[in-house]
């Protein structure tokens, strides 16, 4: 749970970061910035600020803004059922607009050799992909992953199939995807 003051501070940070990166957003979009603290009470280190531009049955586009060393915990986008119809897990492409993103997926890699700070959450995948400005990587559906911004923070554009963030499965059972804001 985050306080309204923490939410407002994070939203202001996000608006400034996007403006400084030359990414224009409308006033209406600025009001829709989502702050995800994942229910862990440590937004500066474990969290994510995002703005969804479009999320239809076929595609999704969003900006993800991370503070320096801020981490999005390990999770997976599985398939499932929606309105009685099956759907595949989300395929997503990360494209770094500003800063550096340390992305971790299944494969070769060890906790002791990664460049990111190991977060205070359960993590099990350590194959490191370093994405710098202008670089991108596509994750297949059903890929366990977590990511962290470098020392200057990061802005990552995500292009994907339909996003069902509320259905994400997190490795750490403490994580709550839907933010709760305390008045």
Q: Cα-Cα-Cα-Cα dihedral of 19, 23, 27, 32, to 10°?
A: -100
User: If residue 7 lies in a helix (H) or strand (E), which one and from where to where?
Assistant: helix 4-20
- In this predicted structure, the answer to whether residue 145 has a pLDDT above a threshold of 80 is yes
Q: What stretch of H or E contains 15?
A: helix 4-20
- The domain spanning residue 23 has which CATH number? 2.60.120.10
CA 15 – CA 29 distance, rounded (Å): 10
**pLDDT tens-digit readout, 104-138:** 999 999 999 999 999 999 999 999 999 999 999 99
Please tell me the predicted confidence (pLDDT) of residue 93.
98
Structural domain harbouring 142? 2-182
Task: Count the domains in the chain.
Answer: 1
Condensed to tens digits (0 to 9), the pLDDT of residues 44-85 reads 999 999 999 999 999 999 999 999 999 999 999 999 999 999
**What pTM, to 2 d.p., does this model score?**
0.95
Task: Give the count of beta carbons closer than 10 Å to the beta carbon of residue 82.
Answer: 12
29 three-state secondary structure: helix
Tens of pLDDT, residue by residue over 12-29, are 999 999 999 999 999 999
Pairwise CA distance, residues 21 & 114, whole Å: 27
The kind and range of the H/E element at 64 are strand 60-66
């Amino acid at each position: 749970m985050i306080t309204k003051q923490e939410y407002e501070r994070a939203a202001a940070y996000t608006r400034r970061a996007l403006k400084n990166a030359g990414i224009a957003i409308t006033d209406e979009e600025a009001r829709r910035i989502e702050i995800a603290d994942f229910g862990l009470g440590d937004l500066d280190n474990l969290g994510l600020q995002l703005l969804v531009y479009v999320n239809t049955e076929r595609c999704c586009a969003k900006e993800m803004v991370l503070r320096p060393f801020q981490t999005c915990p390990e999770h997976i986008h599985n398939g499932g059922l929606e309105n009685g119809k099956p759907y595949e897990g989300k395929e997503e492409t990360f494209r770094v607009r500003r800063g550096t993103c340390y992305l971790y997926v299944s494969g070769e890699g060890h906790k002791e050799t990664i460049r990111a700070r190991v977060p205070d959450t359960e993590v099990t995948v350590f194959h490191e992909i370093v994405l710098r400005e202008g670089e991108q990587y596509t994750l297949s559906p059903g890929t366990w992953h977590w990511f962290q911004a470098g020392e200057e923070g990061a802005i990552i554009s995500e292009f994907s199939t339909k996003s069902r963030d509320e259905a994400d499965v997190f490795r750490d059972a403490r994580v709550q995807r839907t933010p709760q804001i305390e008045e």
